Structure 1
Amino acid sequence: MFGGAAGGGKSHGQLLDALRFAVQYPASRQLMLRRTLPELDRSLVPASLRLFPQAVASYKVSEHLWQFVNGSVLEFGYCDAESDVTRYQSAEYDVIRFDELTHFTESQFTYLISRVRGANGYPKQIKSTTNPGGVGHHWVKARYIDPMPPDTVCECDGGTRLFLPARLADNPFLQQADAGYEKRLRLLAPYDRRALLDGAWELDEGRYFSEFSAERHVTPPHPIPKSWRRYLTIDYGLDMLAALWIAQSPDGYSIVYRELYQSGLIISEAAAAILDCEPAGERIDCRLAPPDLWNRRQETGKSAVELFADCGLDFDKSSNERVAGWLALHELLAPRRDAQGGMRPRLTIFDTCRNLIRTLPALQHDKRNPSDTANTPHELTHAPDALRGYAATVYEPSQPAPPTLYDCEVGEFLRY
């Protein structure tokens, strides 16, 4: 991944590298992606028309691809919605290139890189460019920034990864052509200036749960007393089943100790998957599901909770108050003084619950309602929504003592 500051020539570098690969490896296939089609038409397409020699390739507008004289193909594509990845389901590429990688979700990236395959013996590569920030900032940082120093090849998952920092100084052509560009970057708001001018990856602005910290909230699995109450809370749709098992101590501390995160399950399959996760003899005191699962379905005349009940799972209705639920979750995440005098949050998460740990800190504020979370990209909302149902329904923040009034006639204090 080549990323960091704006103006480092990332997109041009990506296009020139694609040109070199296409010429060097006859009949090779490459895919270059932006998140949306308008972004593609405003950036990569016109830049490639300026850079690519017509003697070696021609651009087919209707197909959004370059056809090279040696049989190589460079295809331009996009993935706006989560489901757009399926348009590439049967495709094979030698190289997939992401432009502005942080605009993509991790699930889109993971699916698309599975399309890098083939038996022609050519190098198989994923090459990306990006600035910090965006919906994918956290997973990109965790994949390319946190595990290794920059400019260092890292062996992982049977392959190699490399992060190349991008700096404005890398592109003298831009500085010569537009001497005021750096000055305009310095006029940006502090958050945007750190991302686009400095290429900084330690960014917190826009995070809804800025208090979330892996060091504070994530813990290795440990025994949970059998006397603690246990809850199951779910967010269900055909696109994703997110199920969280939570244990609550008598003094109000909660631990998310198990998760199930799986897409494409009909209700009978979802119920079976949930029951398979629960060891024999485990007591679940309360199962929570959102109110929309009580709506009757046209095809069966039954609600989703009735269908779950037919499969052996009975649910209580969780609260669907979004803002109140998020505020309750803020309370659970906030450090509190415990009985021993130390400070710790009232909610922790086992480190085996990878999807909740991944998606909770990635939630952003809704730009129109800062008290709520953004509901896009939707893939990030499932596990947090399940946790919100638990927080809104089970957790009750401490209430201040009601005011008192002294009644002179009866000679005692009365409470409102």
Structure 2
Amino acid sequence: MVDCPLPEIFFGGARGGGKTDGVLGKWALKEKRYGAAFNAVMFRKTTVSSEDAIERSREIFGPLGGKFNEAKLRWRMPNGGRVSFAYLDSVKDAQEYQGRNLTDAWVEEAGQYDSPDAIDRLFGVLRSAQGVPVQLILTANPGGPGQHWIRERYKLNPFPRGPKLVTRLLSNGNVHKMAVIPSRITDNKVMLASDPQYIDRLHLVGSAQLVKAWLDGDWTAIEGAFFGEWSEQRHVIEPFRIPDDWLRFRSMDWGSASPFSVGWWAVVGDDHRIPGLQGTLPRGALVRYREWYGASGPNKGLKLTAEEVGAGIKSREGGEKITYGVLDPAAFAEDGGPSIASRLMTKSVVFRPADNKRVASRGAMGGWDIMRQRLKGQDGVPMIYCFSTCEASIRTIPVLQHDQSRPEDLDTNTEDHAADEWRYACMSRPWVPVTAQPKKPDSGYRSTGSKVSRSWR
């Protein structure tokens, strides 16, 4: 990592992989090379969270001759460079650094950020008039609200065995290159030698998903997921030709500044075998065969008009027979003008109000319960599937978390648009497992022609 010249590095994976030492050591070497032109800041959600990193910096920078200013949380390094510790909780915090010149920024525990917005603003302050190659480093372990965007941004599924290069196309047509450096606990030989029971303690932290995430760096393991029943192996299938006689419908969650989500569904007519799936798709199961997720970035909408969205829906259907559509009831409100639903209708895209009940009340099942039942299915066979091309659903639904103040509901501050739309689809076709009916007890009487006799057993 020391000689990596790329403008962005992701360094992370399992806990205990030596990430803090790795970055502090890299900065010590870079400061030696560039002297007073080197200016680096480590960011965390709060400065209190930086205490361990500050203490470790004392052990590394102190013997090198660095001087630490307690009030400013800043090192003046032996060759004149600077290393500081600060907090970054929001885009507003990042804007406070506009006008400053940083050569290096490090965001520790990046998984605590539910979106990369505040982190990406730091690219605006990374510059050097002295020719120092600037760099942003993110370190993180699996888990937390940012797991989904980190996994997608750095292509961490599957978690790489060694360093790799990933790219991102910029709006000006140029390519932004990023280095991914996987970190595993087995890489930290010093810590394992001094604390050989650390791995054993990781097995005590909680659920099997969390253990797998922290020990192996598994970015598909979700601790505390709202839909713990979700499994890419069970619910995600490769596309196949939908039979013409299967009923098709669509569901939609409206959004403009925030993303909208449209899903197209087919109802399995009879048990249906497809390649690559053990067993068959059961009759009555829902198959999501297409989606349109209107987003320009994580939790950011396209700001299209209802008419533009309606035209997009119509063009994607290409004349196929859609039996019905369900849409968030809020889209039918007429606040001084035509509703979103009526504006969609101008493009011959017709919806009816969806059942928007989220959680159970007064004995009635809520939408999340109905969706969860389909995910669970019966006897290990799900009653809902989606094509592998439905990337937004696969990205967002597995990482949704419980609302801390209302555990039976999910956290609505997360990217829940696809999940809401799945809920509307499931509520339009409720399904409950079939329970085996107990056999009626034998009364002991049998009909024998015109007479009824009793047989004793």
User: TM-score w.r.t. structure 2 length?
Assistant: 0.65
CA distance in 2 between partners of 1:144 and 1:77 (Å):
27
SS at match of 1:162: strand
CA contact (8 A) 2:236 2:386 kept: yes
CA distance in 2 between partners of 1:321 and 1:119 (Å):
54
Counterpart of 2:287 in structure 1 is: 255
CA distance in 2 between partners of 1:131 and 1:295 (Å):
43
SS at match of 2:252: strand
| Cα offset, 1:207, TM superposition | 2.0
| Cα offset, 1:99, TM superposition | 0.8
SS at match of 1:161: strand
Q: Which amino acid aligns with 1:21?
A: K
SS at match of 2:255: strand
CA distance in 1 between partners of 2:93 and 2:356 (Å):
29
Q: Which of these residues, 8, 14, 23, is aligned with residue 14 of structure 1?
A: 23
Identity %: 24
Query: Computing the radius of gyration over CA atoms, which structure comes out larger, 1 or 2?
Result: 2
Counterpart of 1:410 in structure 2 is: none
Counterpart of 1:291 in structure 2 is: 329
Q: How does 1:142-291 map to 2 (within 5 A)?
A: 143=154, 145-147=156-158, 149-150=160-161, 152-157=162-167, 159-166=178-185, 170=189, 172=191, 188-189=205-206, 194=211, 198=215, 201=218, 203-227=221-245, 228-250=247-269, 251-256=283-288, 257-262=290-295, 263-266=300-303, 269-279=305-315, 280-291=318-329
CA distance in 2 between partners of 1:283 and 1:66 (Å):
67
Counterpart of 1:394 in structure 2 is: 429
Which whole-Å deviations, capped at 9, do the CAs of 1:245-298 have from their partners, x for residues lacking one? 2233444232222222313444x535414522543424433332222334454x
SS at match of 2:184: strand
CA contact (8 A) 1:241 1:270 kept: no
CA contact (8 A) 1:40 1:78 kept: no
* Cα RMSD (Å): 4.7
CA distance in 2 between partners of 1:212 and 1:155 (Å):
30
| Cα offset, 1:119, TM superposition | 9.0
CA contact (8 A) 1:230 1:246 kept: yes
Q: Which amino acid aligns with 2:398?
A: P
How many residue pairs align between the two structures?
389
CA contact (8 A) 2:148 2:399 kept: yes
Which whole-Å deviations, capped at 9, do the CAs of 1:123-168 have from their partners, x for residues lacking one? 5644332333222345545646544543x22243355422021369
CA contact (8 A) 1:219 1:349 kept: yes
Counterpart of 1:413 in structure 2 is: none
CA distance in 2 between partners of 1:87 and 1:223 (Å):
53
SS at match of 1:391: helix
Q: Which of these residues, 96, 101, 118, is aligned with residue 110 of structure 2?
A: 101
Counterpart of 1:128 in structure 2 is: 138
Cα 1:346/1:12, change in 2 over 3 Å: same
CA contact (8 A) 2:253 2:328 kept: yes
| Cα offset, 1:357, TM superposition | 0.3
Which whole-Å deviations, capped at 9, do the CAs of 1:277-328 have from their partners, x for residues lacking one? 543424433332222334454xx45544345446664432112211311111
CA distance in 2 between partners of 1:283 and 1:93 (Å):
57
| Cα offset, 1:239, TM superposition | 2.2
More helix by share: 1
| Cα offset, 1:122, TM superposition | 5.1
CA distance in 1 between partners of 2:178 and 2:208 (Å):
34
Counterpart of 2:396 in structure 1 is: 359
CA distance in 2 between partners of 1:351 and 1:123 (Å):
40
CA contact (8 A) 1:243 1:259 kept: yes
> Where does the alignment leave 5 or more consecutive residues of structure 2 unmatched?
1-9, 168-176, 270-282, 360-365, 441-457
Counterpart of 1:317 in structure 2 is: 353
CA distance in 2 between partners of 1:89 and 1:318 (Å):
45
> Where does the alignment leave 5 or more consecutive residues of structure 1 unmatched?
338-342, 406-416
| Cα offset, 1:391, TM superposition | 1.2
| Cα offset, 1:384, TM superposition | 1.0
Counterpart of 2:369 in structure 1 is: 327
